[in-house]
Structure 1
């Protein structure tokens, strides 16, 4: 027997969360797989389930001049359909899982799963996404890069729920995304690469590069990005310095999907391709 809660309002959900130790479920596409039982047998959930999928206020999408806010119940396909969504995130969503999964799974659920191979994470890292988290005690904002602390580990207290995701809107003149997997769709990535940049009068004014499935969390180096930001003339030794930085940061593992050496080699090759084809021109 699994104890479940099915609130219909946000305040009701916060009250339940604040008074019982629960597991949160929105789309359930990861959670149900992780804790499923044998056919006909109830899944072995370690805590009561708090369903969020009946809370209409979590289905909201707000598009402002400088940001996009996406509620916790917005599915992957609904997010992909946002006209103002940054291209790099649209590309990642388009290559993610299967249509059935994208119709059920939520964008914030993919974040909270905190998998190093999470498809949406590298694009959201370079977009400087932030989360709004609430409890009966109040509200806080946190950068996505600080929220994810390791494989399956997030900065979410037992009485808190993620309410929404906010993505800053920028005029990114350069965008490059690549997912490497066993097949084109419905595959967990061997690794993924996301990069955006703003270029004005041949000068890089903003740059973000993030790599997934090559470490315990998404790899992003502000030190390497700062080597290019504000520069007009990009020198050959800049690439060599960047390569050295990323080579030291990447720490992939061997698993059933790929080898560590393959992941690291391809990641550095994608970095070189992005640098030479999009930046050093």
Structure 2
């Protein structure tokens, strides 16, 4: 009953967005293929006597900022105990643990493979599939691959159009508490079809393990291909049952100018 009510609310929300504007896969592909044209005027930079010293000062400040940023993103393993929490076999294999757990060998796993698949629905003419896989070789970091396959029926041309978007990321959870994790992703994406172009991507994700067997997951990712945005956002509620889970949520994609809104329902497992 709970999941059915959530799904009904999502469909109403998606319908409201679709009544305002609908995305166009062909438009996204054509814009990404063409790219963003920018004319950057050249500036006449005249060096002053203090120009070199200013460059050195700027370089020093920038270098310090990068060092402290990297240190903050990785964390202090000597003083932050949560960074030593181990990878769990699967969420809620013990009543109070999520993806990570403290020193208990009976609920730890050295290597874990997570896989999930979501059917995405916007309207009768626009739908898709989102396949996601995570390889966790240990608790320090993991790798993630995603494939979005979108389909749209063009009512004017009386034919279907599709778009394939791939993501490959290096992922690091900066916070690894037993009931909460938060981290960032760095990677690349690629649009296939007749676009065949890629770009760099950066994002954040988090999962909160509210109470057995429910968790709330969210992620956001920014990217650019050929000077245009290719951004994704998702939020989903998960119902865990041993190594399996089902999920219901919302996904939003911005591919060039068009924006796409989907209700999503999926299945997943931990191996």
Please state which band the TM-score falls in when normalised by the shorter chain: under 0.3
Q: By percentage of residues, which structure has more strand?
A: 2
Larger radius of gyration: 2
Q: TM-score, normalised by structure 2?
A: 0.27
